[in-house]
Amino acid sequence: MDRSLAGMTYRVIRSGRKTLAMEMRPEGLIVRAPYWASQTQIDAFVGANRAWIEKAKKKLEQIPAPAHLLTKEEIQDLARKAAAYLPGRVAYYAPLVGVTYGRITIRNQRSKWGSCSAKGNLNFNCLLMLTPPEVIDSVVVHELCHRKEMNHSKRFYAEVLRVFPDYYRWNGWLKKNGTAILRQMTG
């Protein structure tokens, strides 16, 4: 549902999450809210974060439009490559992290590189195949470490760095280049 606050339009997506969060996408601001959050609370959250919203909007405007939008066939090819490659990387790093995992799913996503469910199922974006191997490994390790810490605490990052000491370097690469890659996704 689209909402407007002081001339700013945003879309609210409600779910079972515990906190409010925002993300800026090419199509506009997305506010993710728990089911229990009132519209007044959501409006207050958006209002309190206007500086972040403006900064994120400007940053997104500086990213050039992709020279090439991926075709359905190219996305399917990336998904096949990811399905063949990523399970091996997960199998390599899981014992190093000291965790088990469930199902591995490859997705075509516009915003996330990976995720880990409470049941240990791992999801990865097929667009990872357009990044260097070290970026892929950094995302794999990040998601596997969520099997120990389902948060982004200091303990979580200590575990990530124990297994993958170059994490910040390659995560920085992804932060710098990732949005341009994600913008190639069609549909």
Examine the fold and report which residue of 61, 87, 107 is the final residue of a domain before the chain moves on: 61
Q: Sheet containing 21-25: which strands, arranged edge to edge?
A: 2-5, 8-15, 28-34, 21-25
Tell me which of 17 and 7 has the higher pLDDT: 17
Q: What is the CATH number of the domain that holds 83?
A: 3.30.2010.10
Predicted confidence (pLDDT) per residue in 146-162, tens digit: 999 988 899 999 999 99
Q: Is residue 18 part of a domain?
A: yes
Q: Is residue 34 part of a domain?
A: yes
The answer on 84 and 172 residing in a single domain is yes
Domain residue limits at 164: 72-182
Please provide the average confidence, as pLDDT, over all residues in the chain. 89
- Write down the pLDDT at residue 108: 85
- Write down the pLDDT at residue 59: 80
Ranked by mean pLDDT, the top range of 23-27, 41-45, 68-72, 90-94 is 90-94
The answer on 55 and 89 residing in a single domain is no
Examine the fold and report which residue of 42, 61, 80 is the final residue of a domain before the chain moves on: 61
Q: Is the pLDDT of residue 142 over 90?
A: yes
d(CA 22, CA 39): 15
